[in-house]
Amino acid sequence: MTDRRRIVLSSDHAAIPLRQAIAAHLAARGCEVVDIGPVTPESTPYPEHGAAAARRVASGDCALGIILCGTGQGIMMAANKVKGIRCGVCSDTFSARMIRQHNDANMLSLGARVLGEGLALEIVDAFLNAEFEGGRHATRVGMIDALEA
């Protein structure tokens, strides 16, 4: 089934080739890709790019976001400072599925210096193919969101 969701992508300088591979993969799935860069390889601070992508998701402009830096950690920390964002770093497909099913994650973070392209694309698919299960998990996610109040 074609995936027509609108998905924002961003990274810092450490992850441009992997981000571009993910953009092509998302387009092949049928997604509307909003790739907000950067495109040139100069050093650029990951907090700016994580926050910019997170704001696209938090505003409702994009359904989900995928962000990358060297480890995936710094850009995830920045994204999670934006109200309404639940972003996890994943280096395996199980975690990528579970952060959707149990945590209703709306952003995925990847480490370009951690993952090869093949595994990264499988992690992206695991994230996008999973659905939030609701129920008792909704109560717990609500508790996370309440911490922002």
Write down the catalytic residue from 31, 62, 69, 87: 69
Tokens of 3: 């995936």
Indicate if 102 belongs to the active site.
Answer: yes
In the set 8, 9, 14, 124, which binds ligand RB5 (CB under 6 A)?
14
Question: Count residues contacting ligand RB5 (CB under 6 A)?
Answer: 8
CA nearest to 19, candidates 42, 40, 37, 7: 37
How many helices and strands (H and E) does the chain possess?
6, 5
Least separation in angstroms between residue 50's CB and ligand RB5 is 9
- Among residue numbers 21 through 80, which ones bind ligand RB5 (CB under 6 A)? 46, 69-71, 73-74
Residue 12 makes contact with ligand RB5 by CB under 6 A: yes
Residues belonging to the active site: 69, 102
